Amino acid sequence: MSLTSKTTAWVQQGIISIQQQQDILAFERTHANKTFWNTAFIFSGVLIGLGVCLLIAANWNVLPASVKLTGDFILLGGLICATYYSMQKQHRGLRELFTIFSFLLIGGTIGLIGQVFQLSGGWNSFALTWALLGLPFVILSRSRFVNMGWLVLLISAGKWEWVEHIFDNLSSMALAVVVLHVLYAPVLKFAKAAESRIVLPRAVAVLLLWTAYGVVYWMAGWNGLHKEQFLAYLFVFGFLGFRMYLAVKEQDVKSFKRNAILTEVYLFLIFAFKMGSLWLSGFGFIGGGVLLLLFIWVLRKTSRYIKKMEAFQ
């Protein structure tokens, strides 16, 4: 059903007035136009950027080092000026485009300088230099994907061999999950306060929570003794239950729904893996398909039920 049809039905049922309907439709049209134009700017810019890269790549060997460096710095300076201009004009789409290109070009510039002057230092030095020099553009960006990408780049610059030892036993993994979640709470609080100005704290909070979930689900597949498997299952269900409790406390129905569905998915995976070789037959495939349909039906019912729960009224 289109938005016009929905709002017309709302008017007929007395939920909104005709004036409110017109205001809603006008707002949505304006928002849709901005989204279209911003997307068009970004898409056209990407095409132009790819074309320039292809032309440079085709003539790379015949270009002298001085021309490469001069052209690179001119392009970088032009992107910085374009970013500043788009900020002055308050054009969000262009600003996002130019900040992303500037950040990417900084990495290219570092690689070009290293190639021209035969510098060596490995990925760690390259990633750390790129992350530090590109930080101003990441701060300007409102894209969570860009901010998350920068965090991954910064993390990849470190030496994390000791992290492998966390996955040696259940106690260290459980401690890691607790520490990540304890750090997540204050970072998220700060992110909510600063989100109107900077997106990076929100990206840090999301990365902490995703990492905690990653460790939790690694624990879910623990193949130790029966006692250890039981403790791993208990911790996973406890973590998901705690997240659902926080969702109810904060009236966050989306978070509650996600964790409830993750719990059901986890139960389904346990059952599927425990069945083992029973799936490898004709009847097994038929039963698996029926079970999967039933599982999808349960997920849909769960989603609808959560929306009607009194805890979120």
Residue 29, pLDDT score? 65
Residue 93, pLDDT score? 76
Mark whether 152 and 180 lie in a shared domain.
no
Residue 187, pLDDT score? 93
Mark whether 33 and 54 lie in a shared domain.
yes
Please tell me the distance from the alpha carbon of residue 27 to that of residue 77, in angstroms, as a whole number.
37
Residue where one domain finishes, among candidates 131, 156, 181 = 156
Please tell me the distance from the alpha carbon of residue 161 to that of residue 182, in angstroms, as a whole number.
23
Residue 132, pLDDT score? 93
* Axis crossing angle, helix 92-116 with helix 122-140, rounded to the nearest 10: 160
Residue 225, pLDDT score? 64
* Domain range for 108: 3-156
Residue 254, pLDDT score? 85
Question: Structure pTM?
Answer: 0.72
Give which of 93, 73, 71 is closest to 83, Cα–Cα: 93
Sites in the chain below the pLDDT cut of 50 = none
Residue 99, pLDDT score? 86
Q: For the chain, how many structural domains are there in total?
A: 2
Mark whether 68 and 151 lie in a shared domain.
yes
Residue 112, pLDDT score? 81
Mark whether 135 and 168 lie in a shared domain.
no
Mark whether 166 and 299 lie in a shared domain.
yes
Residue 292, pLDDT score? 74
Residue 34, pLDDT score? 56
Please tell me the distance from the alpha carbon of residue 59 to that of residue 216, in angstroms, as a whole number.
50
Residue where one domain finishes, among candidates 114, 139, 156 = 156
Residue 45, pLDDT score? 65
Residue 184, pLDDT score? 93
Residue where one domain finishes, among candidates 156, 186, 206 = 156
Mark whether 149 and 169 lie in a shared domain.
no
Per-residue pLDDT of 261-307, as tens digits, reads: 888 888 877 777 666 655 566 666 777 777 778 878 887 888 777 77
Residue 274, pLDDT score? 67
Residue 61, pLDDT score? 74
* Axis crossing angle, helix 253-275 with helix 200-220, rounded to the nearest 10: 30
Mark whether 105 and 179 lie in a shared domain.
no
Mark whether 123 and 247 lie in a shared domain.
no
Residue 38, pLDDT score? 59
Mark whether 172 and 307 lie in a shared domain.
yes
